[in-house]
Amino acid sequence: MKSTWNLIGMALWLILLIYLIWMVHDMRSRRLKVIVQEKKAFTWQNFWISCGELVVFLLVFWGMSYTTFFQDVKKLNPNAVRVSYSYKPLIIRYKTDQSDYVTVNNGNGRKPIQRYTYYVEGRKYQTDSTSATVVYGKSNLNVQAEAYKWNKEWLNHLDDRYQHAWVGTVTTTYKKNWFNGIGLHAGRQADRFNLIRIPDKSFMTVEK
């Protein structure tokens, strides 16, 4: 577990499950009571009580589901997340036909995804176009990368220092607090994006 704050979320989900079991039992018990004592199969009072219990369950279930599964980290209050940036130089791979910094594999299907392979500090890394982008040429940013708050002066410094061959990584992590604990997110990684910078297109090998 990333943080003990997540115990709050686990407890709330457990309480919600217990409430669901109790609600089903209560609905059944009240219906049997109406049938036995009032000799009726339906009463409006029993109906509205059941509706009230169900509405409470659905509202809490919707709130917990949204917080746990459907939260958009980019729309969260900055106080709820921690954003960190890291930068490392790319390692060129020397080949007889063409040396490169990054290899691109084009996917297939209706929504093809590109997969990127590159090397940093002697290690192989792989990511895809849903969480990374490749930039080459004069500019070290493109439309996709500009969605994040990069220090542009530092990027220009990296271009000079590493000859336009580096990778920048922005990582968003949920802070360890009670709010993130409700959604079982406290201490967990929320988003990760890689900006892969190469001098020009000739340093990129595209494979189909």
Alpha-carbon 140 to chain mean position: 25
Q: Is the pLDDT of residue 174 over 80?
A: yes
More reliable by pLDDT, 75 or 85: 85
Residue 188: both structure tokens together: 């967990």
**Per-domain residue ranges of the chain:** 6-70, 75-207
Q: Residues 43-68: pLDDT tens digits?
A: 999 999 999 999 999 999 999 999 99
Q: Looking at residue 191, what is its pLDDT?
A: 92
Flag whether pLDDT at 163 surpasses 90.
yes
Better-scored residue on pLDDT, 97 or 14: 14
Phi, psi of 105 (to 5 degrees): -110, 120
| Largest interatomic CA distance in the chain | 90
| Interval 80-89: pLDDT, tens | 899 999 999 9
Looking at the predicted structure, is the pLDDT value of residue 1 above 70?
no
Q: Which two tokens stand for residue 17?
A: 């499950």
**Burial state string for 56-68 with b = 16 or more CB within 10 A and e = fewer than 16:** ebeeeeeebeebe
C-alpha 63: how far from its chain's center? 18
| Percent of the chain surpassing pLDDT 70 | 99
183-186-188-192 Cα dihedral, nearest 10 degrees? 80
Q: Cα(194)–Cα(138) distance, rounded to whole angstroms?
A: 19
**Mean pLDDT, the chain, integer:** 92
Contact (Cβ atoms closer than 8 angstroms) between residue 86 and residue 169: yes
At residue 156, the 3 state secondary structure works out as: helix
Each residue of 121-139: pLDDT tens digit? 889 999 999 999 999 999 9
Q: What's the pLDDT band for 107 if we cut at 50, 70, 90?
A: confident
Closest CA to 197 of 83, 104, 89: 89
Does residue 111 surpass a pLDDT of 80?
no
Closest CA to 194 of 112, 114, 129, 120: 129
Q: Could you tell me if 171 and 83 are in contact, meaning their C-beta atoms sit under 8 angstroms apart?
A: yes
pLDDT of the residue at 76: 78
Residue 136's SS3 state is: strand
For the ranges 60-69, 98-107, 153-162, the lowest mean pLDDT is seen at 98-107
Q: Hey, is 123 helix, strand or coil? A: strand
Mean pLDDT of 11-19: 97
Using CA atoms, how far residue 208 sits from 87, 108, 128, 130, in Å, is 29, 9, 14, 18
Of 82-91, 106-115, 119-128, 198-207, the one with minimum mean pLDDT is 106-115
Question: Could you give the percent of the chain with pLDDT greater than 90?
Answer: 78
